[in-house]
Structure 1
Amino acid sequence: MSALSGETRPIAVTIGEPGGVGSDITQGAWLALREEKKLAFFVIGDCAFLKERFSRLGHAVPLRRIAHPAEVAGIFAEALPVIDMPFDERPETGRFIPGTAATVIRSIDSAVELALAGAIAAMVTNPIQKEALYAAGFTHQGHTDYLAHLAQSRGHDAEPVMMLCAEDLRAIPVTVHIALAEVPRQLTSGLIIRQARVAARDLRQRFGIVEPRLAMTGLNPHAGENGAMGQEEQTILAPALAALRAEGLAVQGPLSADTAFHPEARALYDAILCMYHDQALIPVKTLDFHGGVNCTLGLPFIRTSPDHGTALSLAGTGKANPKSLIAAIRLAFEMSWRSA
């Protein structure tokens, strides 16, 4: 931990896909948060591009170039601080082009370097357009595994776990962006155990929950009904539950997913591990579609992001809702305070 406290260190916000709504919601976040007494953030991205987009949106948001995060606190209330990182090609609103990908990636790299150096409290990533990055030679699946790669390449342990947060729900998809038919083949007791351990550790260290209570959904309808609708609950989940309980973790399950997310059920756990993508994402987005936050556990730094994509069709229209980015910044700030 840096000698700097969560109070003095700002949050870095990466530029994200310039053709999308990242800049739009960043403007909205600064307008909403600029009068906060302790919370402050800055952007790593193209200052001229931000100025042009903000002007298009009809708000004269002042920008201030900075060289180091230490400058942020003194100017955040009056202007949005920016570490200037110009694009190699001029972005196009509502459309992605590979020519901007290198700067998008450099923005992420820079935020990670600042985080590992202790110069920032956390990083918040605006949405990226994977097709643009792939076309430019990006070889990683997405943000999460790239962040883990950067940490590991610098000698840090990293075992990333995606956790989605909305209101009082924290949901972890154990398997993520794979076809539903692949889930039973990729789901293992070891995978569940590893993600549960990471979740429990970070709930203690970054969420201030002394004795985390975990839950797990079953894979099959009605959690398999004792094998009547599938064997995965007996062959995969039961060994994982037994191993975690033997380690002293409070974990319940497997729960039938159709009754695991109502208010009374949510009151019984601090986070729930879901066996596939939609089991976790549907309840999160139903509870708070515009305000959900993606929080990556298992990294040597704090990272959150809005729980939505680049929304190319909304870019530059003034219709993009900044609520998810605002929530992501607030959550990152709260986590940094608990970790300090």
Structure 2
Amino acid sequence: MTSRITPRLRNGARKVGRNLLILAGALLAITLIVDTASAQQCPSIKVVCSNRVAGDGSPLHCSATLEGPSSTNIIYRWNVSARAPIQTVSGKPDEVEVNMDGNSDRVVRVTVTINGLPEECEDSAYFDSFLAELGPQAQARANAAPADTTHTNAPNDNAAPSTTATCSEIVTEGEAAYFSVNVDGVEPGATPIYSWAVSQGSIKKGQGTASIAVDTADLGGGILRATAHVGGFSSPLTVSCTTMVKRVPKAYRLDELAGINSDEENERLSRFALRLRIGLDERAYIIALGRRGQRAEEIRKRAERIRDYLINQFGVAPDRIMAVGIGFGRSDAVQLWVVQTGASPPRAEDSAAIRR
């Protein structure tokens, strides 16, 4: 039996086919537009912190705001430049409190990194917190000082002499910070008399001269300001210069587990794991201590047990935690150390000496 298709049916089939192709193309175009638009939409991250006042001792409260499209499965990771404990606010992973009690850092940077955003999106933001006593002018100098900072002062536009103070923008903690002042247009017969004052630290040498060296030990993370008072003229002159002191990476013991029950040990390990999740530029070192006469292998296994617990129970990355070394002390203990990037790790013998 032979089937025949009339010209009318054939033309109808062709029209239906063309319409289906057009519809498929439109759907493909719509899909491509939606996919492209969603890929280009990234949320913005903003961090704000409460004010800090020198000597107040109140915690620094910080919160992160995520504006725009984002996944519901995101993780907030917090980090602070100062050596200060961070505590999350219950039920609010986008908020933290930093315990600043006893901390004298002039500038503290709080950084949040958000995991779970698209790869092409910016995933971090930070906030620089300044002590209120610095004032807006000092904050501006700390944020945008030139490589070699110079400040000039004169009593008025028509008077001479004038002074110029010079200092470096940044020095590393422990190095000497140098400040100098130059006096131009000295009055005939006049001899400059120099007197220096510094905001923190101590003047190592040069007091009474045009240049001083300032000791920056334990000043890391702060701002050092030196002010020169120049007398010997009809009108005394005063000029200042500001230097940022860069912190030296350190290793320090955060906790020690000794003579406690398992519940308390688990609670303190939980806090230690939280610190590691927040301090992304830090590594953990575990040092087990035992009594003299104990087998070294027994002591080492305690450190390895703590390491495995942190990895398996709290998801700490294995490459960020080391169960290193053993030491001997008066009793059994496990010390939990935090080592900032660039710092030398602790030694077991140093750890035991600290306990004694």
- What's the TM-score, normalizing by structure 1? 0.25
- What's the TM-score, normalizing by structure 2? 0.24
More strand per residue: 1 or 2?
A: 2
Structure number with larger C-alpha Rg: 2
